[in-house]
Chains A and B, each alone.
Chain A
Amino acid sequence: MPKITYIEHNGKSHSVEVPNELSVMEGAVHNNIPGIDADCGGACACATCHVYVDEKWFNKLGKKTDAEQDMLDMAFQPNEFSRLACQITVKDELDGLVVKMPSKQA
């Protein structure tokens, strides 16, 4: 199972195995990792699952949809490596993925 590392804003790191086909958001929520709220349950409608993807990994993720880009506008302090965790699907190629959480989600 791919291993995903979530780093809280305070630096606390959580590495967990997340089954393929789940989203990176679900990986955090199922493991009770703080820092990802996911108020809309993964419908790309709340921007409270915002993460900064590690630079090395960013280009390995698929392209953002327009809908995700629009929602990211609403996130807190997005940058060029920002993604919505509910829009990233876990697969074998993402084994080792590192994402950081912002200081707040909303």
Chain B
Amino acid sequence: MIKTDALVVGAGPVGLFVVHQLGIIGLKAEVVDNLDRIGGQCIELYPDKPIYDIPAIPECTGEGLTNSLLDQIKPFKPNFHLNERVQSVVKEKDNWKVTTSKNKIFVTPNVIIAGGVGSFEPRKFLTKGIEKFENKEVFYSVKDKNFFKNKKVCIFGGGDSALDWAIELSKISEVVLIHRRNEFRGAENSAQIAKKLEKDGKLQIKTPYQIDSLEGENKLTGIIIKSEDGKTEKISTDYILGFFGLIMKLGPIAEWGLNLDKKTIPVNTENFQTNKKGIFAIGDICSYPGKLKLILSGFHEGALAARACFKLAKPSETYRFEYTTVSKSMQERLGVKKSD
């Protein structure tokens, strides 16, 4: 069990900056994200694309912004718990008990939800009846490639993950690579290698095909694929792998008893508290009249939420408004105070 002043759900830009705002007023934060890396949409959807509307930064990339934010919060040494989704948030006396998908437990007076449009999860096959085969014969990632050794594997997708795994697994498995278009959008070089492997008979490529239906009762035994002009083909297979990128799912957040408006959480703009005391929502996931889904708005929201957290984390202390330029205690926390 981990005790902390504030638990931040989501390591996107807004979750990162609120760690700073908590840190300068002396509050410690732990950050949980379902992704395997830090940066939310900026790192997952547009790491190399430019952003032009971060105050005082004329231009930076999604990755650059993430790195700068990490730099800025370094003095506060936040702990990141990646690859973990926050599953439940329940009241326990004056605190919230937060449990993750890895059964890690946090106890905290403040939960700050900076969950964007939800947690990033692999985009799944939407074929009827697929659920009962998932994690048995149907997967969206490869944990141990030897699991597929000497088996037949159908790989779906046209991006880098699909190409890379098709190439890698073709060394130890019988691989069929299936994509809905003739062009692959992964690296040109990988597409070339895959086509060469096909020529050499080490890999089969089926385009333009999509999955149509599944065969098998308790165990998946085969699939039917269908081309745009309606041609179908049956392929018997041991496993299927889908690499369709990531999608954002609101997921467990919807079950924490919070008011929801479509996929957003209405907040009080005085402190960004939700309908539950001690649970705050900031960034893309919060809504209020006039809300803009911009990073800069999220920064402001975090600044106010952090101050509200202070009262709950340190009820016996008085919060004082201070500037970083002149506040000795803030500069101490930032590790920049020069001894005079």
Contact across chains for B244 and A77 when beta carbons are under 8 A apart:
no
Residue among A73, A76, A77 with the most chain B CB within 10 A?
Answer: A73
Contact across chains for A77 and B159 when beta carbons are under 8 A apart:
no
Q: Say whether A104 faces chain B, with CB atoms less than 8 Å apart.
A: yes
Q: Say whether A79 faces chain B, with CB atoms less than 8 Å apart.
A: yes
In angstroms, Cα B45 to Cα A70, docked, is 13
Which secondary structure dominates chain A's binding surface? loop
- Contacts A41-B293, A43-B45, A80-B228 hold; do A74 and B126 have CB atoms under 8 A apart? no
Contact across chains for A45 and B126 when beta carbons are under 8 A apart:
no
Contact across chains for B117 and A39 when beta carbons are under 8 A apart:
yes
Contact partners of B228 in chain A: CB under 8 A: 79-80
Q: What number of B residues sit within 8 Å (CB to CB) of A?
A: 23
A73, A78, A106: the one within 8 Å of B247 (CB): A106
Q: Say whether A49 faces chain B, with CB atoms less than 8 Å apart.
A: no
Contact partners of B180 in chain A: CB under 8 A: 73, 78
Contact across chains for B45 and A45 when beta carbons are under 8 A apart:
yes
Q: Say whether B248 faces chain A, with CB atoms less than 8 Å apart.
A: yes
Contact partners of B247 in chain A: CB under 8 A: 39, 46, 48, 74, 106
Give residues in A with beta carbon < 8 Å to B: 39-41, 43, 45-46, 48, 66, 69-70, 73-74, 76-80, 104, 106
Q: Say whether B91 faces chain A, with CB atoms less than 8 Å apart.
A: no
- Contacts A46-B248, A79-B228 hold; do A74 and B123 have CB atoms under 8 A apart? yes
Give residues in B with beta carbon < 8 Å to A: 41, 45-46, 117-118, 123, 126, 157-159, 179-181, 185, 210, 228, 244-245, 247-249, 263, 293
- Contacts A40-B117, A80-B228 hold; do A73 and B158 have CB atoms under 8 A apart? yes
Closest to B249 in A: A106
Contact partners of A45 in chain B: CB under 8 A: 41, 45-46
The 8 closest A-B pairs by CB, nearest first: A45-B45, A70-B185, A39-B117, A76-B126, A74-B244, A106-B247, A74-B245, A73-B158
Contact partners of A43 in chain B: CB under 8 A: 45-46
Contact across chains for B45 and A106 when beta carbons are under 8 A apart:
no
Give chain B nearest CB distance to A41 CB in angstroms: 6
Give chain A nearest CB distance to B122 CB in angstroms: 11
- 17 of the cross-chain contacts (CB-CB < 8 Å) are A40-B45, A40-B117, A45-B41, A45-B46, A46-B247, A48-B247, A70-B159, A73-B157, A73-B158, A74-B123, A74-B244, A74-B245, A74-B247, A77-B126, A77-B210, A80-B228, A106-B123
